[in-house]
Structure 1
Amino acid sequence: MSTKSKLLELLESQKGTYLSGEELARQLQVSRAAVWKAVKTLRQEGYQIQAATNRGYALKQENDILSREAVRCFLEHQEAEVQVFQKISSTSRVMKQLAVEKQLPHGSLVAANSQTEGRGRKGRKFYSPESSGLYLSVLLYPKKTLRQSLEITAAAAVAVCRAVEGCCGVSLGIKWVNDLYLQEKKVCGILTEAVTDFETGEIEFAVVGIGLNLYEPKEGFPEEIRRKAGAILERGVRTDRNRLAACIVNELLKEAEKPGISPEYRQRNIVPGRQIKVFGNQECRVVRAEKILEDGRLLVTNGQGERELLDFADVSLEI
């Protein structure tokens, strides 16, 4: 790890607290001049580092640059590998590649400030503009079969809800199967992709991709998603994205270990009791959502008054 990275890790771990140049040099085992050089480089990268005579250096509390060092400060599983990018094609694409090439540990993550090729279900694009959201993918080695993959998505939905409540003070609802909503607007998408053993049907590894709209983009959402896309926070309301990313991972690792669909997933769901549109087989139909079963399937009543069970489908709340 470079002197710059070690310094950033120290400053992040004690954000808002002044650390003397002498103390920093001692802990980093470098000269005071090397400390100053690292501080200068970090400032050039946008980090708000204050300097005061006879007090030293402090990273300002409102500093919100996504970084590997800051995320690691909040992770409960320190053995996990963390990679952070300011811009990337797709966090899930990179994570899948790393999982195959480097066999990263359980709970490893790739996070980014923006994505150029963010993806949702069925190859749909996920709008991932700079400095408006949090985009991350987490690597899991779940002891589950492909048929149980919905459990992973449900665990991720619950994990994000808990993390957002803890870090942002905002309560979200879950839209079956894999979206999170705030006031009838989609603010988060979750996509779980798994590599399985063909013979056993067991999942070798899964990558959970999560895209959060923290703020509305300065230029607004694109016309095609403007009616349904929303943001968790108003511009000017600050949150620590590094802490939020780590909290999502911490909660996901706890939730993913549990068998079945969490009762919390069903309790937080905003679909039961509503008329919804179901898309499939090149058709769209309106049904009434009754309830989510313990295995995650959705019980609906169709236009003929008949009950059906949906394993997985595209649904819309807009009637």
Structure 2
Amino acid sequence: MSTKSQVLTLLMKQAPTFISGEEMAQELSLSRTAIWKAINELKKEGHQISSSRNKGYRYDSSDILSAEGIKLALAPTTPDLSITILDSSESTMKDAKLAAINGEPDNTLIVADIQEAPKGRFGRPFFSKAGCGIYMSMLLRPNQRFEEMAQYTVIMAVAAARAMDELAHLTTEIKWVNDIYLNGKKIGGILSEAMSDVESGQISNVIIGMGINFSLKQNEFPEELQEKATSIFSDRTPTITRNELIAAIWNQFYRILAQLPAEDFLDEYRQKSFVLGKTVSFSQAGTDYDGTAIAINERGELIVQLSDGSEKVLSSGEISLQSIK
């Protein structure tokens, strides 16, 4: 751990009280000069640190993304994450894929302050602004066969919805299969991809990406998105930090994984779905269909009953709902 990282972690642990430079130097076995340099570097990065001649230093709450801030909010039962924070990224999914190729370990998390070319399912672009969102991808190495793989997209949707509801006091909903909604507008989307070993038939890597509109004000969205999208704190000052929400989402995600198969996340997913019981439109094999969404099966697939009584099973990797009424 770098000197700067050690200092930041100690300041965050001590917050909101002051800690003297001498105490920090003793605890970290560093010189006072090294402490002073690290604090100045942190201030340049945007961290809010108060200084007092008599009291020392105090970390003031700020929404700067940091591996230290995320790790401090992780639950004891959550695995030790390898976290990389980027000022910007073309795509954290691409970054995670590169990490997989380079042999990075299981539970590698990449977080960016802004994505320059963010994409969702089927390559659809979405809006991104520095300091106002969460753009992250996790590399997992499950070594499972395809038929044994957990429904990671569904688990992630439940984990994200739980964390948002608990920390920001919201009532979110889930649009099958991968979008989080608030008051009828999208606040987040999830994308998962699997990489397989052809010889063993096992999944060698799973990458789960998520984009969340955190504190973007409603009038800051492009005009064409203002009726379709919103953010967690679109009309109020954030009551939590992005670091805290990121940690809470992964705490919930790993909690669900640890409790499988007893954890019935699908029931929670179904309860939060605003698609079930609605008339949906979709296209399959070049043909357009309308029907009623009647169920979500154990594989996370959507069951739609057509007007003639027949049923269509929609797989998340193949189908996108065109409308919901």
State the TM-score, normalized to the length of structure 2. Answer: 0.90
- How do 1:1-319 residues align onto structure 2 when only pairs under 5 Å count? 1-61=1-61, 63-76=62-75, 77=78, 79-104=80-105, 106-147=106-147, 151-217=151-217, 220-233=220-233, 234-257=235-258, 258-259=260-261, 262-312=266-316, 313-319=319-325
Measured after TM superposition, the shift of residue 216 of structure 1 is 2.7
Q: 2:282, 2:323 within 8 Å by CA — same for their partners in 1?
A: no
CA distance, structure 2, for counterparts of residue 85 and residue 202 of structure 1: 31
Measured after TM superposition, the shift of residue 255 of structure 1 is 2.0
Alpha-carbon displacement from aligned partner over 1:265-295 (angstroms, at most 9, x marks no partner): 1221111011122134345433211121233
Identical positions, percent:
35
| Matched AA of 1:285 | Y
CA distance, structure 2, for counterparts of residue 14 and residue 182 of structure 1: 35
CA distance, structure 2, for counterparts of residue 110 and residue 33 of structure 1: 32
| Matched AA of 2:321 | V
CA distance, structure 2, for counterparts of residue 193 and residue 2 of structure 1: 33
Measured after TM superposition, the shift of residue 71 of structure 1 is 1.1
Secondary structure of the structure 2 residue equivalent to 1:95: helix
CA distance, structure 1, for counterparts of residue 232 and residue 323 of structure 2: 19
Measured after TM superposition, the shift of residue 122 of structure 1 is 1.4
CA distance, structure 2, for counterparts of residue 198 and residue 26 of structure 1: 54
CA distance, structure 1, for counterparts of residue 207 and residue 140 of structure 2: 6
CA distance, structure 2, for counterparts of residue 160 and residue 213 of structure 1: 12
Q: 1:113, 1:135 within 8 Å by CA — same for their partners in 2?
A: yes
| Matched AA of 1:100 | I
How many residue pairs get matched? 317
Secondary structure of the structure 1 residue equivalent to 2:8: helix
Structure-2 change in CA distance of 1:174 and 1:147 (3 Å)? farther
CA distance, structure 1, for counterparts of residue 72 and residue 177 of structure 2: 32
CA distance, structure 1, for counterparts of residue 91 and residue 236 of structure 2: 25
Structure-2 change in CA distance of 1:27 and 1:218 (3 Å)? farther
Secondary structure of the structure 2 residue equivalent to 1:102: coil
State the TM-score, normalized to the length of structure 1. Answer: 0.91
Structure-2 change in CA distance of 1:253 and 1:315 (3 Å)? same
Unaligned runs of at least 5 residues, structure 1? none
CA distance, structure 2, for counterparts of residue 316 and residue 146 of structure 1: 28
Secondary structure of the structure 1 residue equivalent to 2:84: strand
Q: 1:163, 1:251 within 8 Å by CA — same for their partners in 2?
A: yes
